[in-house]
Amino acid sequence: MKRGVMCGVLVIVLALSLGPVAPGLAQDDPKYDGVWFIEDMLMVLNIDGDQVDVMMPGLDECQPMMELELDGDNLLEDGTPILTLELDEDADILIIWQGDEVFAEAEPVETLAEVCTLPDFDLSIDTVSSRADLETLVDEVFAQTTSLPGMAVAVVGRDGVIWSKGYGFANVEAGIPVTADTPFMLASITKVFTGTALMQVWEAAGIDLDAPVNDWLPFEVDNPHVDGELITLRHLATHTSGLLDNWEYYLGVYTPGDSPIALGDFLAGYLVAGGEWYDADANYADRMPGEAAVYSNVGAALAGYMVEMLTGTPLDDYADAHLFGPLGMTNTHWHLADFADPGLIAVPYVSGTIPLDHYGYPTWPDGQIRSSVNDMARFMAAILSGGEFDGARILQPATVDDMLRVQFPAVSSDQGWFWVVSPEDGTAEHSGGDDGVSTSMVLNRDLGLGLVLLTNSDTAEMGLVWSIIAKPIFEGAAVLIGS
């Protein structure tokens, strides 16, 4: 799975809001109609005319993930082609292309019921009434997984870690086990740290979050499809900027190790006409900022670059000084070069079996942090406590409240300041998916409880594990916090 492909949620049960899908197009050719199952991703496509429902098998029924649109052979997100379909009638499979590469292959099934119910895990408990129950539950779930080389879990309260544990292997070939201090690549969970740093800058400098980013940039961001647009920090932090992820260029700059391309150089080359990675139609949406929420990695990368523009300090150095350092997050860094021993970082495994070199990309503020569940717990405890943990204040309580509120209710009902929020039940969450990694975190501020799950596999089984353990953990919140 690629970071942000189909918004990076195809393997994560906590889907991000994509905003409205463009009006349906006439689809006269029914050749793709039917139910298609991508077995290695545990993903279901239900195609009916121009409507494509993306789902994930669950314990009892398919869980809806997102809606796409079909126009001819193209799958569209908000009117923008992201994948291409091809029917191989001889092999009786549906080939899904991402540019010139095969993204996935799907087999036809007769009905949704055939693939939408997975067998229950054989568990000895279904409620968590003690921390011992919690450990038993997660132990039994991991023991029955088939595609997760390693996994780390932490349950968090306002005072820090309630329980944490590592499972399996950070490096299967070398026999290195996962511990609660093993760094995993976070993928898109990284964005909440980028957003937190921006809010710290706002507190310190009193900047206008609704002022045009061009006021501070050394280059001009100009959407060629509209006139007079003003892209702001708030647009970047809510995926409403109109900046699009051009996967031909985005994936083309992945590299083993840390990227040799500087963040600012890539952004200028991507956003400014004439740049090496510039494409007017693929890099910019045909709409004004604030009109729709469409997940944008490049928007998050630009948000991270704005920290340097506003403070004179690159985001990674700023976070070390103002976020990771104060919170004691000693196993958390943006770049491989910053780890004393990169060999202890969990190796990413494609499909849970194929090891990858640790990799990087120039847009690192959108997904490249490596962190452990114990470190994540310190950050999550600070958010649960209104911005302070263990004597270190990273944000004021009112700023935390503002960050976790819906920013543009008319555009998206659950998009906070990078966080996905649910005001009704007090939750804030984010998930991440990239080659060889899947991650999820959620906070319930009303309960004062959080959960983070990090894996070094990109299969959908991670989402299934999450769905099994999250419900009993939050139902047992009172016991876990008080025991």
Q: What is the DSSP letter of 165?
A: E
Beta strand extents in 418-475 (DSSP E only): 420-422, 427-434, 437-444, 449-455
Q: What does each of the 483 residues of the chain score in pLDDT, given as a tens digit?
A: 334 433 333 333 333 222 322 333 334 568 899 999 887 677 899 999 999 999 877 666 787 878 899 999 999 876 778 889 999 888 789 999 887 788 889 999 998 888 887 666 889 988 999 999 999 999 999 999 989 999 999 999 999 999 999 999 999 999 999 999 999 999 999 999 999 999 999 999 999 999 999 999 999 999 999 999 999 999 999 999 999 999 889 989 999 999 999 999 999 999 999 999 999 999 999 999 999 999 999 999 999 999 999 999 999 999 999 999 999 999 999 999 999 999 999 999 998 999 999 999 999 999 999 999 999 999 999 999 999 999 999 999 999 999 999 999 999 999 999 999 998 888 999 999 999 999 999 999 999 999 999 999 998 888 889 989 999 999 999 999 986
The string of DSSP codes covering 360-414 is E-TTGGGT--EE-HHHHHHHHHHHHTTSEETTEE-S-HHHHHHHTS-S-TTT-SS
Residue 430 to residue 447: CA distance in whole angstroms: 18
User: Do residues 415 and 409 lie in contact, with contact meaning Cβ atoms separated by under 8 Å?
Assistant: no
HSE of 75, CA atoms in CB hemisphere, 13 A: 25
CATH 1.25.40 for domain 5-116, yes or no, is no
3-state secondary structure of 69: strand
Residue 256 to residue 347: CA distance in whole angstroms: 12
- For residue 362, give both structure tokens: 């120039």
At residue 168, the pLDDT reads 98
Q: What is the DSSP letter of 212?
A: B
- Every domain of the chain and the residues it spans: 5-116, 184-482
Please state the CATH superfamily assignment of the domain spanning residues 184-482 in this structure. DD-peptidase/beta-lactamase superfamily (3.40.710.10)
At residue 55, the pLDDT reads 85
C-beta atoms surrounding 165 within 10 Å: 18
User: Do residues 469 and 153 lie in contact, with contact meaning Cβ atoms separated by under 8 Å?
Assistant: yes
Q: How do strand 449-455 and strand 437-444 relate by DSSP bridges?
A: antiparallel
Residue 238, φ and ψ in degrees, nearest 5: -125, 10
Q: What is the 3-state secondary structure (H, E, C) of 104-152?
A: EEEEEECCCHHHHECCCCCCCCCCCCCHHHHHHHHHHHHHCCCCCCEEE
Residue 294 to residue 183: CA distance in whole angstroms: 29
- For residue 268, give both structure tokens: 């200028």
- For residue 466, give both structure tokens: 């999450």
- For residue 257, give both structure tokens: 């190790």
CA dihedral of 54, 56, 58, 61, whole degrees rounded to 10: 20
Residue 113 to residue 60: CA distance in whole angstroms: 10
At residue 423, the pLDDT reads 85
CA dihedral of 221, 414, 322, 327, whole degrees rounded to 10: -150
